[in-house]
C-alpha cells in the first residue's frame, strides 16, 4: 500500500493555516453542483473546515471527511462540534485504500496540491476515489472534484 505524505506537514502553524479554509472559498466551484441528500466524501479533509461547509450543502445526507493524520481528524471533530453540524463525520483513513464500499458516495471532493503532479501515486488516489463514487449510469448527478484539476463529473 502507498504510504501517505502531506508536504506542508501538520505543525501547529500549518494546521492553523489549513483551518482557515472554507467550502465557500476553497470549494466554491463545487458547491453549486451539490444538492441536499447527496452523500459526500472529503478526501484529505485536514482540520475539517471545508467538510463542515460541504455538510451544510448536502444536509440531511452525511458529509464524511477522511484524513490519514489522527491529529487532523481530532481537529476536524472539534470544528464540527463547535459549529453544531450534525450530519458530518470524520474518519482516519488512507486515500489510496479508502474504508468505504464501492459506489457509496454521490459526490467526492479533494483539495490537494499534491495532485498537481499527477504521478503514479496520484493516479492511484484518484482511482481509489472513483471506486467509491456512484457510477453515472446509476446516479447521473454523481460528482468528483479534485480542486486543483477542477474535474467535475469525472468517472473512471
- Domains defined along the chain, listed by start: 12-146 (3.40.50.150)
The whole-number average pLDDT for the span 121-143 is: 73
Cell numbers placing 28:
466554491
Give the model's confidence band at 152: pLDDT under 50 very low, under 70 low, under 90 confident, else very high. Answer: very low
Give the model's confidence band at 116: pLDDT under 50 very low, under 70 low, under 90 confident, else very high. Answer: very low
Q: What percent of the chain has pLDDT over 90?
A: 38
Higher pLDDT, 124 or 9: 124
Q: What is the mean pLDDT of the chain?
A: 78
Does the pTM of the predicted model rise above 0.85? no
Residues paired with residue 42 on neighbouring β-strands, in sequence order: 65, 109
Whole-angstrom distance, CA of residue 134 vs CA of residue 50: 22
CA 64 to chain centre: 7
Amino acid at each position: 500500500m502507498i504510504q501517505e505524505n502531506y508536504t506542508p506537514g501538520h505543525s501547529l502553524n500549518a494546521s492553523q493555516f489549513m483551518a482557515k479554509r472554507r467550502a465557500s472559498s476553497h470549494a466554491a466551484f463545487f458547491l453549486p453542483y451539490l444538492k441536499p441528500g447527496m452523500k459526500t466524501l472529503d478526501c484529505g479533509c485536514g482540520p475539517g473546515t471545508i467538510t463542515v461547509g460541504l455538510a451544510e450543502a448536502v444536509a440531511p445526507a452525511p458529509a464524511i471527511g477522511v484524513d490519514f493524520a489522527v491529529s487532523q481528524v481530532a481537529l476536524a471533530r472539534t470544528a464540527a462540534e463547535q459549529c453544531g453540524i450534525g450530519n458530518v463525520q470524520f474518519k482516519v483513513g488512507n486515500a489510496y485504500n479508502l474504508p468505504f464500499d464501492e459506489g457509496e458516495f454521490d459526490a467526492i471532493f479533494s483539495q490537494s496540491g499534491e495532485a498537481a503532479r499527477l504521478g503514479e501515486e496520484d493516479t492511484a488516489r484518484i482511482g481509489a476515489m472513483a471506486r467509491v463514487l456512484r457510477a453515472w449510469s446509476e446516479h447521473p448527478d454523481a460528482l468528483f472534484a479534485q480542486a486543483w484539476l477542477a474535474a467535475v463529473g469525472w468517472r473512471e
